Structure 1
Amino acid sequence: MRITLLVTCICITYNLFTQTFTISGYISDGATGEKLIGATVFDTKTLQGTITNEYGFYSLSLSEDTVKLSYSYVGYTSQKESIYLDTDKQINKKLSASVELETVVISAAEKEEKIQERTQMSTIDIPIETIKALPAFLGETDVLKAMQLLPGVQGGTEGTSGIYVRGGSPDQNLILLDGVPVYNASHLFGFFSVFNSDALNKATLIKGGFPARYGGRLSSVIDLRMKEGNMNEYHGEGSIGLVASRFTIEGPIKKDTSSFMLSARRTYIDLLARPIVKASSEGSVVGYYFYDLNAKVNYKFSDKDRLYLSGYFGRDKFYFNDKDYDPDDYTDAGLDWGNGTGVIRWNHIVNKKTFSNTTATFTSYDYEIYTNLYETDIDDNGDEFQSIFGFRYFSGIRDWTLKEDIDFVLNPKHYIKFGGGVTYHTFMPGATEFKQEGTEIDIPEINLSSDNIHATEFDLYIEDDWEITSALKINYGLHASAFNVDTSFYTSLQPRISARYLINNDLSIKASYSTMTQFIHLLSNSGIGLPTDLWVPATDEVVPQNAQQYAVGFAYTLLNNYEISLEGYYKKMNNIIDYKDGASYLYDGVTEWEDKVESGEGWAYGAELFLQKRIGNFNGWLGYTLSWSDRQFPTINLGEKFPFKYDKRHEIDIACVYKINEHISLSAIWVYSSGQAISIPVAKYLGTYGQEVYYYEGRNGYRMNPYHRMDINIAFHKEKKYWTRTWNFGAYNLYNHKNPFFIYEDADLSGKGVYKQVTLFPIIPYFSWDFKF
């Protein structure tokens, strides 16, 4: 009996002395109040730690004892404190930036999670300040063009912001702005993206090994987060460049409680060119412009509750009108497209270990092409009348989404995320309208359209970041989704797993496997960024696309300053679609879009090398990609495999930023890629009726010349009493290399057929004037 009592007392005493308590809270920027995503909280005594989630929240459970905590984030001064942990505590920390805003130097953070320690592979974060420091096409900084400089990411045609990740198509990229999908990410026919860098706080690219919380696309996740707004002071920044200007302002609505951010951008090509065009065309008006608006408000109700409201709206407008030239007979035509997004989000700390995020979102994309011909004539009675012949084509997509995401920190070894959502899609896959007025036979309006398609998509997921041992850590999970459209109901289970094994403190090996399902397709009518691409759902006749991706590699940190990763990957894609030969995107009132496409398969595999320097006055990266990407369709290329249009065997990307001193910084990029695969005829002959018939040897069987280019930028910073100004001077295609845009057939002086190359951009100098206050 005494022995039993003694054992019981020992057990009770042991439990009392080994109780665990939880420290939780938020880590934010001390100057602005912006939450710091991925900041590190680390106990130097037990070597236990965690990082903040995408809303700056952390939770760390430790045994009762004196703990020595370090709070750190790249580019910020670390904070340390020792406390005796005998109860649960909520500790919010504000870190101070260790560098001034105008510099691009990145300093090390103590115990920052290094590349070899992360479970997730195929993931790259690009600091927004680095994106702004890089040379920019016509002076307009662009987050998507910066991502084109990363290994595994192919750009589209010359100058465009298209993204092709590991052999995938643009529709296979999940582009998120504050968690909301953006369906068309291009301005100016693809030469600029819709994302204003001044409005962004964080940019992340995931190419593989996708965490289970992401779904709906096959090839990548591009996660962009907008600024929340300064909680303490009013600040603004802007830029005046050759083609566009932008302005951003942020500040507190109520200090330490609520804030706002408002950002706007507009081109003025139309304003500058209008007098010239009007004079040279005898009164005709031709113009183009685009604009973007970003807005965000956040309100802190309590230490446990915060509400966010954010949105984006942007449009492109191209127009032509020659009424001033001939007011009786003229043409009015145009092309108009744009996106709109909105999100309301509620963050709630349920308890010391549980964080919830409830979100409702809306996103839309639409475009319209129109032409109206006006003709004035005289009837039999001598009266003047006007006839109108009109054509209009429009299409679009709208989504409403409600979702719930939960972070549950079981203990320092297990970080669990789970949640689910439902999305209601409305697809408008194309409508053509004709009208005719003022003629013998008036046609008020004829609408030839495919019916709108309504679909509902459901998602559930669970994932766990599990530290099995100090060396072995895995992230595993399951994404389950379903799609209901008309009479079809598709389901999909998508397992995901990523693992890393630390060989030593500086080196790890990694591997990942993921399956992805995509219930929507993009019918691409051109490769030059025109907005006439159609978003369509999986239907009874066109099934969802899916992919499996395997990746393996290693990650190494050298001298605590250089990060090196090498990855190999293999991806198999099924049920991808494309237009049949000769099919048109315009709806003719007879042929449904399902009858214009066919399904096929795709393969992509290769290796990627990434070397990055993040610390010091000189930083940047070097990327190299060796890759293959093929497609196969039953009736295209006689059913044989053929290279994907953007299959580029070799690609090299170098980006660097050098801070010469406090007032001058220099940046440069150099890119090289193998030539684009295209189809050109190898012979021609006269057909039965005397027409020219071209003979091709396989789809995409010809390679254009390799592409290479250097861009450079020099920035001059000067601090005034209340504000800072920066002059940027740079050049696109510095050594004026004639890069191929497309190839066409022509004849030489002897009449012999030859192929000629068209080059789009020579050397283009630019400047911009930036300011901050």
Structure 2
Amino acid sequence: MIPFFTRLHLFRKPGNLLAFACLFLLLSPGAAWAQQAKFTINGFVRDKQTGENLIGVGIFNPKTGQGTTTNNYGFYSITLPQDSISLIVSYLGYERLSFNIFLNRDLEQNFNLTANNELKTVEIVGTKEEKIRESTRMSTISVPIAQIKTLPALFGEVDVLKTLQLLPGVQSGGEGSTGLYVRGGSPDQNLILLDGTPVYNASHLFGFFSVFNADALNNVELIKGGFPARYGGRLSSVLDINMKEGNMKEFQGEASVGIIASKVTLEGPIKEDKASFIVSARRTYIDILARPFMNKENGVFGYYFYDLNGKVNYKISQRDRLYLSAYTGYDKFYGQFDDSELEDKMHVGWGNLTSALRWNRIINNKLFANTHLTYTKYQFDIGNEQTTQFRNDRGELETEKFSLNYFSNIRDFSLKTDFDYTPSTNHYIRFGAQYIKHSFKPGALQIEESNPEPGAANNNFFSQTLGHESGVYVEDDIKITDLLKVNAGLRLAGFYVDKKLYHSLEPRVSARFILNENWSAKASYARTSQFIHLLTNSGIDLPTDLWVPATGKVRPQLADQVALGVTRTLFDEAVEVSIESYYKAMNHLIEYSEGADFLGTTDNNWQDKVTSGEGWSYGTEFFVQKKLGKTTGWVGYTLAWANRKFPELNGGEMYPYKYDRRHDISIVVSHQLKDNITVSGTWVYGTGNAVTLAEARYGIGSYNTIEDIGSRNKFRMAPYHRLDLSLNQTKKKKWGETVNSFSIYNAYNRKNPYFLRLEEGYDTGNGRPTAVFKQISLFPILPSFSKSFKF
């Protein structure tokens, strides 16, 4: 054997060095003559019965171990060596499909999958058909709509956000609330997308229900960390929701009637296999049912909300497709009081409007483009109108009117283009750019009087701030070896407001390393920025929360998050286990200063009412799920800490965030009793919310008192726990099917804390006043029933 240094010495001779160079080029994998010819297969994967594009379908070549998944529009592209191949196409809830061919040319191939309605196909997985141990993505969970519909629901109303609250790392704001508090973040730090369009307020009925009608949805994915570079603008999570596209084959419908609301969904082809539509509507009728029991003398009060979803898609050609989708929803609480002299009307209303126009184009067999034009608006308004009748000095009847309207809104126009490029099975590259024009009106007040005082202004304080947000990104899912795979990306974001330009360079990276056939280790880091803030007075999703921009005085929010975890599969991949630990540091958070609130917020004076600070959250999440068989479900546990520090609050000392929750447990079980009967149950437990209470009260004189508040969020409410049960019975009919759903919310009637109220009294024994905090609970045991129809 020639010693190593001797071999190096041989290459000092020019002839030998030239020979070595020629040999290297001949054997190099990049040399054309050394490479095996490769060809690309691309196309769409759709539901055979409806023509709906399927998201996240796995396409896998067992012979080489290479594979890919469909994107958010059902498109895939895979490049393989020239050979006889057998592709396996698999997706949750569908029969597996095998495609065999001798690949010797580029090929366009669409796949149509047949639905399999067995319950065992209903599951929650890490990233759809990509095995949890193989994906680079962590802190990501996709929730099938079928799973959501089988779980117990408050008043029988199926709710996407309440299902997400059952996952580790995700907390609810309180009893019945749909607010999402992800890894110590606040609700405004969640990027909620409906067909790629931001939704700024996702709550109905003051937070008890979400705005998402499950009958109109196709896919739900939550990302808690390790954010891909294609997402930007929020610190804590991304909730990406896609609407159905509409049945391309035949007309069909779905309707349901519940205790407080009814809904209907219709879909079908406008032209078979060419264009389709879907429309879905929902409305509550609490106000209609209660109206006969009210009269104007005692006051008439009411509340309702509605949703309306619509979508049309059109195939321009085999390579081009257009989508037009829209959503509108509104909540209104109103009251009216009449007597002989005074008519008093009031209302509080809030709602969203979103719309999106998307153009998909297959540029070539490896490059897919999506261009997205969107508009979104969120607004709340408060109004009061008083009409008074009286007789003047001459005995004549006169009428005076006074009205006050206060409203606030945020509007966005956005243009975004994204590209998916798959040069080989070792690379999945995404890149694109986005521009958003924000328009903020934190407060606008309008006053009208029939007989105004001299010099009084009837229209006051209309304000508007424009902000321009932009971002460019690139990311690549790189298979370095069979054991190591990395997703690396970079996002450059900017925000221009009030002649001030902020910019943020945001590296994102996540990786997985396969330890053995069952275990894999994962890690991620992401820097994120947020150029808008939500000013809130409480944890309840009130419409008085104000959206405001970063300004010259108020800086954008920033966060750095790292996560480490391991995953394991058990019992032939029927059970998946994951453990993740995370640490997140947040800067430039804002809160109202002591004693400030939204009242009187006009023009830009809100900037003088806030203070800026920092936040930290860290914890460990445990998640085990069983996804095959008649019994499916999961167990989630979170151990977490969340703290805040503001120089002008709590004496500058660090304090627990209101939703700092040490322990959070969720158990979800679904069991198929018979082919047509499914029973489900959920049990949740959480450490009580942190609250600020007065530690002492001092009397000054006869009427005035001073409270000693002490440290912020020093006290804890009682722990929260609850059991919900449901039973779903399906009956086949000649025209379709019916589903009877029975559910019990809070089955063992736990009196959970909603808030604490101070009750004052007097102790006659010692002659001293008393004060005690009393727990107020909201929902006792609540049975409900709903009936749905499919035709």
**TM-score, normalised with respect to structure 1:** 0.96
Distance 1:97 1:368, change over 3 A: same
Q: Give the AA of the match of 1:300.
A: K
Partner secondary structure for residue 752 of structure 1: strand
Q: 2:358 aligns with which of 317, 322, 345?
A: 345
Q: Assess if the C-alpha contact under 8 Å between 1:435 and 1:443 holds in 2.
A: no
Q: Assess if the C-alpha contact under 8 Å between 1:375 and 1:386 holds in 2.
A: yes
Q: Assess if the C-alpha contact under 8 Å between 1:104 and 1:133 holds in 2.
A: no
Q: 1:542 aligns with which of 550, 554, 567?
A: 554
Partner secondary structure for residue 566 of structure 2: strand
Is 1:127 equivalent to 2:144 in the alignment? yes
Q: Give the AA of the match of 1:288.
A: Y
Residues 199-229 of structure 1 show CA distances to partners (whole Å, capped at 9, x for unaligned) of 0000000000000000000000000000000
C-alpha distance in structure 2 between counterparts of 1:576 and 1:156, whole Å: 19
Correspondence 1:126-525 to 2 at 5 A = 126-278=143-295, 282=297, 284-323=299-338, 326=339, 328-438=341-451, 445-449=458-462, 451-525=463-537
Partner secondary structure for residue 161 of structure 2: helix
What is residue 15 of structure 1 aligned with on the other side?
33
Deviation at 1:112, TM superposition (A): 3.7
Residues 467-500 of structure 1 show CA distances to partners (whole Å, capped at 9, x for unaligned) of 0001100101001111011110001100000000
Deviation at 1:586, TM superposition (A): 2.0
Q: Assess if the C-alpha contact under 8 Å between 1:75 and 1:108 holds in 2.
A: no
Q: Give the AA of the match of 1:524.
A: T
C-alpha distance in structure 2 between counterparts of 1:749 and 1:691, whole Å: 16
C-alpha distance in structure 2 between counterparts of 1:13 and 1:327, whole Å: 95
C-alpha distance in structure 1 between counterparts of 2:557 and 2:533, whole Å: 8
Matched residue count:
763
Deviation at 1:108, TM superposition (A): 11
Distance 1:669 1:588, change over 3 A: closer
Identity percentage of aligned residues: 50
What is residue 50 of structure 1 aligned with on the other side?
68
What is residue 572 of structure 1 aligned with on the other side?
585
Partner secondary structure for residue 374 of structure 2: strand
Deviation at 1:561, TM superposition (A): 0.3
Q: 2:101 aligns with which of 83, 91, 108?
A: 83
Deviation at 1:587, TM superposition (A): 2.4
Q: Assess if the C-alpha contact under 8 Å between 2:92 and 2:122 holds in 1.
A: no
Which stretch of structure 1 is more off in the superposition, 430-439 or 367-376? 430-439
Residues 581-602 of structure 1 show CA distances to partners (whole Å, capped at 9, x for unaligned) of 1112122668700000010000
Q: Assess if the C-alpha contact under 8 Å between 1:241 and 1:768 holds in 2.
A: yes
C-alpha distance in structure 2 between counterparts of 1:155 and 1:401, whole Å: 30
Which stretch of structure 1 is more off in the superposition, 609-618 or 14-23? 14-23
Deviation at 1:301, TM superposition (A): 1.5
Deviation at 1:311, TM superposition (A): 0.6
C-alpha distance in structure 2 between counterparts of 1:688 and 1:595, whole Å: 33
Q: Give the AA of the match of 2:653.
A: E
Q: Assess if the C-alpha contact under 8 Å between 2:86 and 2:98 holds in 1.
A: yes
Correspondence 1:33-72 to 2 at 5 A = 33-72=51-90
Q: 2:752 aligns with which of 727, 731, 739?
A: 739
Q: Give the AA of the match of 2:399.
A: Q
Q: Assess if the C-alpha contact under 8 Å between 1:104 and 1:130 holds in 2.
A: no
Q: Assess if the C-alpha contact under 8 Å between 2:443 and 2:601 holds in 1.
A: no
Is 1:616 equivalent to 2:663 in the alignment? no
Q: Assess if the C-alpha contact under 8 Å between 1:419 and 1:460 holds in 2.
A: yes
Which stretch of structure 1 is more off in the superposition, 500-509 or 745-754? 745-754
C-alpha distance in structure 2 between counterparts of 1:391 and 1:532, whole Å: 16
Partner secondary structure for residue 134 of structure 2: coil
Correspondence 1:588-667 to 2 at 5 A = 592-667=605-680
C-alpha distance in structure 1 between counterparts of 2:151 and 2:351, whole Å: 27
Residues 380-412 of structure 1 show CA distances to partners (whole Å, capped at 9, x for unaligned) of 332211111221110000000001100000110
Distance 1:520 1:262, change over 3 A: same
Deviation at 1:10, TM superposition (A): 11
Deviation at 1:176, TM superposition (A): 0.2
Q: Assess if the C-alpha contact under 8 Å between 2:521 and 2:565 holds in 1.
A: yes
Q: Assess if the C-alpha contact under 8 Å between 1:41 and 1:71 holds in 2.
A: yes
Deviation at 1:130, TM superposition (A): 0.5
Distance 1:20 1:595, change over 3 A: same
C-alpha distance in structure 2 between counterparts of 1:762 and 1:107, whole Å: 30
What is residue 695 of structure 2 aligned with on the other side?
682
Q: Assess if the C-alpha contact under 8 Å between 2:442 and 2:602 holds in 1.
A: no
What is residue 542 of structure 2 aligned with on the other side?
530
In the TM superposition, structure 1's runs of 4+ consecutive aligned residues that sit over 4 Å from their partners are 6-14, 102-109, 439-444, 588-591
Partner secondary structure for residue 275 of structure 1: helix
Deviation at 1:689, TM superposition (A): 7.7
Deviation at 1:38, TM superposition (A): 0.9
**Unaligned runs of at least 5 residues, structure 1:** none
C-alpha distance in structure 2 between counterparts of 1:128 and 1:385, whole Å: 60
C-alpha distance in structure 1 between counterparts of 2:256 and 2:299, whole Å: 31
Residues 21-49 of structure 1 show CA distances to partners (whole Å, capped at 9, x for unaligned) of 10111111111111111111111211111
Q: Assess if the C-alpha contact under 8 Å between 2:26 and 2:33 holds in 1.
A: no
Q: Give the AA of the match of 2:105.
A: T
Q: Give the AA of the match of 2:303.
A: Y
Which stretch of structure 1 is more off in the superposition, 503-512 or 569-578? 503-512
Q: Give the AA of the match of 1:328.
A: E
Deviation at 1:327, TM superposition (A): 5.2
Distance 1:522 1:720, change over 3 A: same
Distance 1:590 1:622, change over 3 A: closer
Is 1:766 equivalent to 2:781 in the alignment? no
C-alpha distance in structure 2 between counterparts of 1:349 and 1:218, whole Å: 32
Residues 324-383 of structure 1 show CA distances to partners (whole Å, capped at 9, x for unaligned) of xx2531101001110000000000000010000011000000010011111111223322
Q: Assess if the C-alpha contact under 8 Å between 1:386 and 1:438 holds in 2.
A: no
Q: Assess if the C-alpha contact under 8 Å between 1:106 and 1:616 holds in 2.
A: no
Q: Give the AA of the match of 1:140.
A: E
Q: Give the AA of the match of 1:212.
A: A
C-alpha distance in structure 2 between counterparts of 1:469 and 1:241, whole Å: 53
C-alpha distance in structure 2 between counterparts of 1:415 and 1:440, whole Å: 68
Q: Assess if the C-alpha contact under 8 Å between 2:411 and 2:440 holds in 1.
A: yes
Is 1:28 equivalent to 2:46 in the alignment? yes
Q: Assess if the C-alpha contact under 8 Å between 2:523 and 2:565 holds in 1.
A: yes
C-alpha distance in structure 2 between counterparts of 1:568 and 1:9, whole Å: 48
C-alpha distance in structure 2 between counterparts of 1:305 and 1:615, whole Å: 38
Which stretch of structure 1 is more off in the superposition, 167-176 or 434-443? 434-443
Partner secondary structure for residue 461 of structure 2: strand
C-alpha distance in structure 2 between counterparts of 1:251 and 1:103, whole Å: 28
C-alpha distance in structure 2 between counterparts of 1:589 and 1:254, whole Å: 51
Q: Assess if the C-alpha contact under 8 Å between 1:230 and 1:259 holds in 2.
A: yes
C-alpha distance in structure 1 between counterparts of 2:602 and 2:373, whole Å: 36
What is residue 10 of structure 2 aligned with on the other side?
none
